Amino acid sequence: MSLVATSLVFTTSSVGAASSHAPMHMPNVVGRTRAQLYAIMRHDELYFSTRGPGSSDGKWRTVAAQSPAPGKLVAWHSTVHITTSLSAYRGPRAVPRLLGLTRAQVYAVMRRADLYFTTRGPGSVGGTWLVVRRQSPAPGTRVAWHSSVLLTTSLTRPRPKPVRTKPKPKPTPTKTTTTTMKAHPISTTTSSTTSTTSTTSTTTTTYPGETTTTTSSTSTSTTTTTTVPTTTTTIKRSKSRDYRVGIATWYNFIPGRCATWYLPLGTRVRVRDLATGKVIVCRATDREGARGNRVVDLSETQFAQLTPLWHGVLRVRVSW
């Protein structure tokens, strides 16, 4: 009897200790550093597991996301799943507009916005989708840093809707007085006046012993010459581009960006395949490791737009 009573006491005390820990609200640890996360988890008596950049070697800097969400009721000693990041925390941002963008454009936009995305719909499994048909959350919605946006994809591009224009109203006739001045090319205008001399004489007949008087008048006109020069100047502007001809290769890089060893970062370049004439446009944001006749390193997406990846290299002309 004594043994049974003792076992009942120990069982009752252990059950009471376990039930004394009520569920607690999940703290918000997004944006916290490693030291802050350890302190919060220790204070709330919770465990956590990490995944993401730097989680394998413990070199991550901040928390990018968490599961369960902040404020959710969790049991005592529960495990929280933490998504880590190697960069410093940044505040909320607006979701960019992704409707109608291609795969390469979506990758570039979401990388600049520090956001993730998941896809569903035709072509989302094999990564063969062409454009985005719908997105959630809507464009402009404020979301947390490193949040995920759900995209509905499509294998066909939407046809542009015809634009209907209203007929222009007929203008009301008005009486206007217009003065037109004609401009002539290079010309010289000369005006001249011909000199005219007229002589008038008067003869008087006299008799012997009288005086004879002769009156003469002369009029002279002056000649005036006026010259008006007109000069026409034509300026021709010539468009010229700097370019290099050499070898292009590819590597795993952001679509729409490339690497050179001779151009300033941020330069927009045109790359033309000299064999087929195909042209792609990219922006130089990286540096090549080698110089010489290798003029550009393209991302694998844009290299595939010119020629299959298994070619490895091709001869191109790079202009900027």
Dump pLDDT digits (tens) for 57-113.
888 888 888 999 998 999 988 999 998 988 776 778 899 999 999 999 999 998 888
Closest to 80 measured CA to CA, from 47, 106, 57: 47
| Alpha carbons within 13 A on the beta-carbon side of 53 | 9
Q: Identify the band that residue 261 occupies on the pLDDT scale cut at 50, 70 and 90.
A: very high
Residue 75 has a pLDDT of: 92
Nearest CA to 303 out of 290, 312, 292 is that of 312
82 beta partners: 50, 66
d(CA 214, CA 202): 6
Cα–Cα distances (Å) from 116 to 3, 81, 188, 213, in that order, read 61, 17, 74, 123
The residue written with tokens 């956001």 in the block is 115
Q: What is the pLDDT of residue 152?
A: 94
Integer Cα distance of 274 and 31 in angstroms:
50
Residues 277, 315 contacting (CB under 8 angstroms): no
pLDDT reported for residue 161: 66
Q: Is 242 helix (H, G, I), strand (E, B) or coil?
A: coil
Q: Phi/psi of residue 290, each to 5°?
A: -130, 155
Cβ atoms of 141 and 107 closer than 8 Å:
no
Pick 243 or 190 by higher pLDDT: 243
The SS3 call for residue 254 is: coil
The pLDDT of residue 163: 64
Residue 22: what pLDDT? 87
Q: Percent of the chain at pLDDT above 70? A: 69
Paired residues of 216 in beta bridges: 201
By the 8 A CB rule, do 50 and 86 touch?
no
DSSP-assigned letter for residue 97: P
pLDDT of 302 over the 80 cut: yes
Q: What's the rounded Cα separation, in Å, for the pair 202 and 294?
A: 106
> 16-59 pLDDT, tens per residue?
444 467 898 899 998 888 889 999 999 988 999 999 888 888 88
Which value, in Å, is the radius of gyration of the alpha carbons in the chain? Answer: 45
Q: Helices marked H in the chain — which ranges? A: 2-19, 34-44, 103-113, 300-306
pLDDT score of 258 more than 70: yes
Instruction: Give SS3 for 14.
Output: helix
Could you please report the per-residue DSSP string of 141-206? Answer: -EE-TT-EEEEEEESSPPPPPPPP-PPPPPPPP--------PPPSS-----------EEEEE----
Closest Cα partner for 318 from 283, 266, 288, 285? 283
Which carries the bigger pLDDT value, residue 279 or residue 205? 279
pLDDT digits (tens, 9 = 90+) for 123-177: 888 888 999 999 999 999 998 888 889 999 998 876 666 667 777 777 776 655 4
